[in-house]
Structure 1
Amino acid sequence: MVTRANAAVQNTKTELDVCLGKTGTPVGKLVFVRNGPRVFTQFGYFQEWLDHADTFNVSADLAAAPGFQTRKPVTKEDSLFFLALGDTEPDAWGRRVIARAHAKRREEDPKLGALTELDYLCAVDDFSRMGALRLRNARGVYLESAPEGRRATPPMLELEKMLSSSRAVELGKETAQDLAYLRGKGTSLGGMRPKCSILDKEGYLALGKFPSVKDERNVTRAEVLALKLAALAGITVSKAHVAVVQGTPVAVIRRFDRTPDDARIPYISGATLLQASRQDEHAYTEVLHAMKGACANYVVDAQELWRRQVFNHLITNVDDHLQNMGFLYMGDNKWQLSPAFDINPMPDKDRESKTWLSEDTGPITSMPQLMGQASQFALSHEQALAIVRKQVEAILQWRMVGQSPDVGMTKQELDEFVPAFEHASFSAARKLAGL
């Protein structure tokens, strides 16, 4: 896919088929166009897909109509691709690995051109690409795929090798072998932290999240702690545990966009549902408005969304941007809120949400503010109090859960997270709950 550095590169056009699911049902055509400095993409649905009995609009910013539609990003930070495809792009860590690998290849072959956004999109391993959208070239080959099927997504026993290679990249000491091993295993789930796709001990697709050399606290164990507490608090989350590799904790979190038989579930982020630019500020009430027409069980999802806001506030998870919210396809052109992910207690952060509660109230900063908006999320005062009570009961166990075998934190490690769990807002929630 990487182009050669000559005059022809300045005017290129690449076409790829966009397919859906394990069976690879053809959906449409993706076109990447570069005319000198002008770069844009187009997408056109296949008529067969529009006529398909199970057809649905794969991206909120696409019209379900024949003919090519053009995408020009609003800012340099926004995706060049229609948003559901943009949700499958490698995250910052994945891009870092891809760029480093390409730089080493250019040292050996100076004729290689610079990477394009299409190169990054196509470098994600097909087996582990987020959601159900897949890319296929003119030869019928899925991008990027390994000849031996699952070989590109390693099993748990290779965690040591992945950790070693990831650490080398962070330290700037990676070899070509490290980069070749990591390339394609990046994810679309966001962030600069080192991570890889992996098959867990039961053979399910999972995410392995490694400690960073810059960490000052045990962030990987704390994320698993947060997921365990969220489950106790009645929030839908993925199965997670800590695996220890040569004394280093790795968070292993099962992917929620696959079924037990490896079928792929279509996925879009909250930003895609809202058709939001990555630089814009938005509110949960705006998400609610979009959910009313999109979600199969709107009331259930609206209540779950409020439940997550309360939990995030009480454990000081303030990185609640729209890319950290997702939706899974239910059928009949309807979606549902995906399990919660990227939940991290942040003891050194101000307790202020990144996504506003409403356009009138601003960021989430207090329990009275959350309680005052509960009715907008289809909750009575009594229902909201019941949710708060269950969350307080769960979070009160944070030290005990942190020391459980699946998390494995020491007392000293837990002490470093006290400001995230024990604070004035939690005291206010406890008072509300009568506990």
Structure 2
Amino acid sequence: MYHDRLVGQLTMGINDTCLFQYCNEWLHTGFSISPLKLPLKGDLFEAPYLPFHGNFGVFEDCMPGGYGEYVLQKELNKEGINYQSLTPLQKLSIVGSSGMGALCYIPDNKITIPSKFKDLDKIQQAALDILSGKTDKNAGRLYVDSGNSGGVRPKILLQENGSHWIVKFRHINDPIESGKIEYMYSHAAKEAGIIVPRFKLFNDRYFGVERFDLSPDGERIHMVTASGLLDEDINPPKMDYKTLLALTGYITQDHIEVEQQFRRMVFNYYAENFDDHARNFSFLYVDGKWKLSPAYDMTHDSPLGQHATSVGYKANPTEKDFIEAGSSVQMSHKLCSDIIDEVKPIGQLLLAKLKENDYSIVEGNEQQTKEDLNTGRVGFKR
């Protein structure tokens, strides 16, 4: 469903893969929800089994990931349900109308548990308790509050003065000041000419961004990640920026958007934003055309300790590699060089500020987590 309109029907095929077909009305009045994999035509489409266990990437995007999936599994375990044994359709019915973006699914079997958390510090502690294995009692509430969002870190959806926010909390192994670190990244990215959502710190600690999958009047916007468009898994990550730049050009048909994506690539490398996997680049369908979403999830920390997206399939690219990537999508040598010259010092200055604040490694365990919360010590994985 999209804005109460039927888009099409999903069924499970004999190969344990999803089958999808647009409905006739949508074929005449709608748009392709995933241009590369589900073009707007009346064919019956079958998803490959890999990488999403028989699901289409555009629908996989709606699933909770990381932390959201973890707390959902904990809640379903209480009912004797093994989340991993469910089919993609059963999982999508749990998402129902509660996912990010504009797509909704019927039957809608979403979990409805009233939230008892009003204090952000209590939400943080509840998340730490469940992630450390201390208790599962708040799993359902934490899942509902997360809004099916992806990513490793705990999140909640929050409304404040008519605005809709995603507020992030630290994982058990994260530095205490992870929110301030991400705030610094977003501030530097904005200075580097990167389009970012409105952002701020809640309680001077928890990083929040205004939701960009909602219009100013609250209407839901169709959103797909690069992972969803390309059927590209992030475990392990293997996307290259040349592919991402080409995808941006193909989807948006706008050289300004391609240049913006190039700028993000350069910033990510010089600012060491290692968490640049395919689910952290999204596209929005607005007013009949595709455009880049604002940049999000920019921070230093990464389980891999290196970039998730390569440049020319090189782990340590040079400026020449950046320029070659830009040239592959018809960007001029001068334009590429100018963007690099503008963005490079901003990324380098950000890293210098982080080092100046002595963000050092903390190996998180439950005991250290409690101590860190009490002392305010900061850890920063490098």
TM normalised by structure 1 equals 0.73
Query: 1:44-123 maps to which residues of 2 (within 5 A)?
Result: 44-52=21-29, 55-59=30-34, 60-66=36-42, 68-75=44-51, 78-106=52-80, 115-123=86-94
2:106 aligned with 1:136, yes or no?
Answer: yes
The residue number in structure 1 matching 2:261 is 305
The residue number in structure 1 matching 2:168 is 209
Distance in 2 (CA, whole Å) between partners of 1:349 and 1:104 is 32
Distance in 1 (CA, whole Å) between partners of 2:60 and 2:302 is 31
Query: Structure 1 residues 143 and 234, CA, compared in 2 at 3 Å: closer, same or farther?
Result: farther
Distance in 2 (CA, whole Å) between partners of 1:113 and 1:46 is 30
Is the 2:147–2:156 contact (alpha carbons within 8 Å) kept by the matching residues of 1? yes
The residue number in structure 1 matching 2:326 is 374
Is the 1:79–1:86 contact (alpha carbons within 8 Å) kept by the matching residues of 2? no
Distance in 2 (CA, whole Å) between partners of 1:320 and 1:277 is 13
Distance in 2 (CA, whole Å) between partners of 1:417 and 1:166 is 18
After superposition, give the CA deviation of every residue in 1:68-102 in whole Å (9 maximum; x if it has no partner). 32224224xx2532211111110121111111111
The residue number in structure 2 matching 1:281 is 238
Matched to 2:60, the amino acid is G
Matched to 1:327, the amino acid is F
Distance in 2 (CA, whole Å) between partners of 1:230 and 1:265 is 24
The Cα of 1:236 is off from its aligned counterpart by 0.7
Q: 1:320 aligns with which of 251, 257, 276?
A: 276
Distance in 2 (CA, whole Å) between partners of 1:210 and 1:348 is 17
Q: Residue 184 of structure 1 aligns to a residue in which SS?
A: helix
Query: Structure 1 residues 80 and 250, CA, compared in 2 at 3 Å: closer, same or farther?
Result: farther
Q: Residue 339 of structure 1 aligns to a residue in which SS?
A: coil
TM normalised by structure 2 equals 0.82
The Cα of 1:184 is off from its aligned counterpart by 2.7
The Cα of 1:343 is off from its aligned counterpart by 0.9
Q: 2:155 aligns with which of 195, 205, 210?
A: 195
- Matched residues, number: 364
Is the 2:73–2:82 contact (alpha carbons within 8 Å) kept by the matching residues of 1? no
After superposition, give the CA deviation of every residue in 1:259-285 in whole Å (9 maximum; x if it has no partner). 111111111111233343545733222
Q: Residue 317 of structure 1 aligns to a residue in which SS?
A: coil
Is the 1:306–1:377 contact (alpha carbons within 8 Å) kept by the matching residues of 2? no
Identity %: 23
Is the 1:244–1:250 contact (alpha carbons within 8 Å) kept by the matching residues of 2? yes
Distance in 2 (CA, whole Å) between partners of 1:180 and 1:348 is 26
Distance in 2 (CA, whole Å) between partners of 1:256 and 1:87 is 15
Is the 2:27–2:40 contact (alpha carbons within 8 Å) kept by the matching residues of 1? yes
Query: Structure 1 residues 392 and 100, CA, compared in 2 at 3 Å: closer, same or farther?
Result: same
Distance in 1 (CA, whole Å) between partners of 2:42 and 2:195 is 37
The residue number in structure 1 matching 2:198 is 239
Distance in 1 (CA, whole Å) between partners of 2:101 and 2:58 is 9
**Structure number with higher strand proportion:** 1
The residue number in structure 2 matching 1:294 is 251
Q: 1:338 aligns with which of 285, 293, 296?
A: 293
Q: 1:185 aligns with which of 136, 145, 169?
A: 145
Distance in 1 (CA, whole Å) between partners of 2:61 and 2:82 is 31
Matched to 2:150, the amino acid is G
Query: Structure 1 residues 393 and 363, CA, compared in 2 at 3 Å: closer, same or farther?
Result: closer
The residue number in structure 2 matching 1:430 is none
Query: Structure 1 residues 98 and 341, CA, compared in 2 at 3 Å: closer, same or farther?
Result: same
The residue number in structure 1 matching 2:370 is none
Matched to 1:411, the amino acid is N
Matched to 1:49, the amino acid is W
Distance in 2 (CA, whole Å) between partners of 1:284 and 1:72 is 24
Q: Residue 267 of structure 1 aligns to a residue in which SS?
A: strand
Is the 2:9–2:21 contact (alpha carbons within 8 Å) kept by the matching residues of 1? yes
Distance in 2 (CA, whole Å) between partners of 1:325 and 1:28 is 25
The Cα of 1:57 is off from its aligned counterpart by 0.8
Q: Which has the larger radius of gyration?
A: 1
Q: Structure 1 unaligned runs (5+)? A: 1-18, 403-408, 421-435
Q: CA RMSD in A?
A: 3.5
The residue number in structure 2 matching 1:354 is 308
The residue number in structure 1 matching 2:131 is 170
Is the 1:90–1:121 contact (alpha carbons within 8 Å) kept by the matching residues of 2? no
Distance in 2 (CA, whole Å) between partners of 1:315 and 1:364 is 13
The Cα of 1:307 is off from its aligned counterpart by 0.6
Q: 1:222 aligns with which of 181, 184, 191?
A: 181
Query: 1:156-167 maps to which residues of 2 (within 5 A)?
Result: 157-167=118-128
2:8 aligned with 1:28, yes or no?
Answer: yes
The Cα of 1:412 is off from its aligned counterpart by 3.9
Query: Structure 1 residues 158 and 91, CA, compared in 2 at 3 Å: closer, same or farther?
Result: same
Matched to 1:130, the amino acid is M
The residue number in structure 1 matching 2:225 is 269
Q: Residue 203 of structure 2 aligns to a residue in which SS?
A: strand
